[in-house]
Amino acid sequence: MARKIVAKKSAIHGDGVFATEAIASGERVVRYKGKLRSHEDVDTLYGEQPEDGHTFLFTLNEDYVIDANVDGNVARFINHSCAPNCEAVVHQNKNGKRHKDKIQIEAIRDIAAGEELTYNYGIVLHEPHTARLKKLWLCRCGSPQCTGTLLQPKRSKKAQPPD
């Protein structure tokens, strides 16, 4: 299969990934690759580093993170957008082997040749989303729907059923 994407400088942030030819809605564009690590390993390796609003770590599931800092591919350069043209889809292993789950970047609408690929990173932090953190995770997508931050609203806790 011919590669329909290329990494190059982006107006959004640093490097980005661009379509070299048209990509159809629903098409799998690229798999997000990198070294598979446990959450504990990631915390040990990167936990003491100051946050800088930039990461190549992608949570795969409750057990594993893909670390695209090591053995990562072009997918690590796809930028965030509040109005994305792609989404990251976790494909779970049919046999329940969590370490064999995969992340595919898939088009959610038709993408024209030359257009930058983007998806919503969906970053939710456990700590409060303070003004400092929102600034650290500043969004530069330029979309009219831009929220100004890569941070997503915390998921509300569902009401507990009565006893």
Residue 30 dihedral angles phi and psi, to the nearest 5°: -165, 150
Q: Could you state, in order of their start, the residue ranges of all structural domains in the chain?
A: 5-122
In Å, what is the CA distance from 101 to each residue of 18, 36, 62, 94, 96?
26, 10, 11, 9, 8
Say how far apart CA 22 and CA 113 lie, in whole Å: 5
CATH code: domain 5-122 is: 2.170.270.10
- Residue listed under structure tokens 């057990």: 63
Over the Cα atoms of the chain, what is R_g? Answer: 17
* Closest CA relative to residue 88, chosen from 51, 111, 117: 117
Say how far apart CA 64 and CA 85 lie, in whole Å: 26
Give the residue-averaged pLDDT of 109-135.
92
How is residue 43 written in tokens? 């915390």
- pLDDT score of 156: 57
pLDDT digits (tens, 9 = 90+) for 53-112: 678 999 999 999 999 999 999 999 999 999 999 999 999 999 999 999 999 999 999 999
Give the residue-averaged pLDDT of 29-50.
92
Strand partners of residue 151: 123
Kind and range of the H or E element at 42? helix 39-46
Total-model pTM: 0.87
Supply the mean pLDDT for the chain.
90
Q: What residue type is assigned to position 74 of the chain?
A: V
The separation between the first and the last C-alpha atoms of the chain, rounded to the nearest angstrom, is 56
